[in-house]
Amino acid sequence: TTFNSRTYLQPQLNKACKKSDKRANGDVNPKDFIVFGKNDFKVSHTWKDNTGEKKFIEDMAFPTLNFPSDHGILATILEPIAASSSS
């Protein structure tokens, strides 16, 4: 999951945009997925983080000085589903 945009201080000036246009012209897309078989695991808890503090701030562009990645963190706790034994 990303929400980033280039500034005029970075290379590739053709991709740079004003702060007020970062949502419209930046890269705001889901790009990270957790894939598992629905018969193998159940989701215990899922969260996202773009601060490094297990919090997610909506509409915040990143990377930032405190969170230097251009991808947010997507995390989940999976619990195995016990296989049923057939007799």
Rg of the Cα trace of the chain?
A: 18
pTM of the model: 0.56
Three-state DSSP state, 40 = coil
- Neighbouring-strand partners of residue 49: 73
The one-digit pLDDT tens for each residue of the chain (87 residues) are 556 566 555 566 566 665 666 556 556 666 677 889 999 999 999 998 989 999 999 878 778 888 888 778 889 999 999 876 555
Are 10 and 18 in contact by the 8 Å Cβ rule? The answer is no
